[in-house]
A and B are shown apart, each in its own frame.
Chain A
Amino acid sequence: MTRFPDGPPPRSERPTSVDQLIDSRLMARLDHLDVVSRKIFSGRVQGERRSKRRGQSVEFADFRPYVAGDDLRFVDWNIYGRLDRLFLKIFLEEEDLSLHVVLDASASMNWGDPSKFEFARRLAMALGYIGLTNQNRVSMSAFGGIDRDGNPAGLQRLSNLRGRRRTHEVGKWLIDLEPGGGDEFENAMKTIALSRQGRGVMVVISDFLHKGGFETGLRYIAGRGYDVFAMQLLSPQEIDPLAHGMSGDLRLVDLEDDDQAEVTVNAAVLRGYKDRLDTWCGRLRDFCIRRSIMHMIVDTGMDLDTLMLDYLRRRGLLR
């Protein structure tokens, strides 16, 4: 007897190559985009973007009075000649950007039509491609996945890639991810926060339907130097269950913990569900605003091109 007599949960076909993750046409259009941070960070090497860290770049930022110990090479002697006082010239230092994409690979993401995880995988690929193309340090993490034996894979990481030539490596890593594990959001965020290297942009792609709550996990990564973007993926089936055939007497089975809920879906229950979903999303949004996290709800029914070229640009993640 099959577990689900009415067929398996809706999901998309798993890609087998990078081209299936992101096609060349989209790649060409993404070439013009870059990841934008609302903050200016210092990197390990001099990069292509400004940092708030004043340094040795050519772009003048400010003056400050000389104090003992300052590098005499940055003293503005012209001012000393005019004012007879020592001032140091302060320049904006150009640094590379660290882009960290955190991907939720738990079982709850492996649902929807198209599958939320496949959508997230393609989204991560596109973001990673943009980062690599713009010489940013691209790192990726995935939590909640499973290995080939079906066991929890723990936090899977791909660190510090740079340059377009690493695109295939990113794609391969993404393709190898296998969704289907439990909810490890909190532990994963804690691990990522503790092992933080440098500053940069962190994009967390998840549905944030964590029974333990999202607050603790997000709290780990908020305020630690990352410009965090929380991208909440919701499938069309989750946004409007009735329009997608969710009705009648149902026994709902949780993909992550096999928890069951017997529901007779009617207008009142649907109304309650939508209210709860709105409340949940509103709670996430409020939490993010208070911690300077950019929260975005992404309908996985949306076209990826539109998302990348329009939606994310308007929300300030890309330019």
Chain B
Amino acid sequence: MSWTDIGALTDIPLRGARIVKTPAGCIAVFRTDEAEVFATSNKCAHKGGPLAEGIVHGKQVTCPLHNWVYSLETGEAQGADEGSIATYPVKIEDGRLLLDTDAVAARNAA
């Protein structure tokens, strides 16, 4: 694992998201609770909508384009929709956000 500092926890508004540009494309980092973050692909499996712009609720996000709802824990689309997005390890240390860039790269290689 290669934990890369991507910014401060407080850079992301509560129940909001920011994107991180990577060679594998944009990754959305969601802050679902005071100290709870998730990282997923920013692209909705449906029409590629920018998930970081969606409304974050519970541990889910709703795509702003057509309201697909994803579990941020599993990346699976919820309800009747079928599809999934990649999820990546991300953690909080001393108020900093660390993303596992190896996982991102591996995903890219695959």
| A joins B in a complex | no
Interface positions of A (Cβ within 8 A of B): none
